[in-house]
Amino acid sequence: MSFQAYIDNIKAKTGKTPDDFKKLATEKGFIIDGKLNPDIKATEITNWLKEEFELGHGHAMAIFATLKGIKNKVKSNELLS
């Protein structure tokens, strides 16, 4: 599945865009001054996404990648692994 397909599926399931998740992550303290809080582990973020939004691991990792800024480095036709 392409990275963009993950994002599209997440929006279809939750109604939220990566920017929406960034705002929510900021409210939770996962993002500070536009960057991931270095004291927060990826597992904390993915567990939040799995529990609150019922995302699978791959979909949670796709959102984590967008929060980390990796989405700007990944072409939409590459696989997220």
Distance of CA 74 to the CA centre of its chain: 13
Over the stretch 22-63, which tens digit does the pLDDT of each residue have?
Answer: 999 999 999 999 999 999 999 999 999 999 999 999 999 999
Spell out the domain ranges in the chain. 3-72
**Whole-number pLDDT of residue 71:** 63
Residue listed under structure tokens 């705002």: 23
- By the 8 A CB rule, do 76 and 3 touch? yes
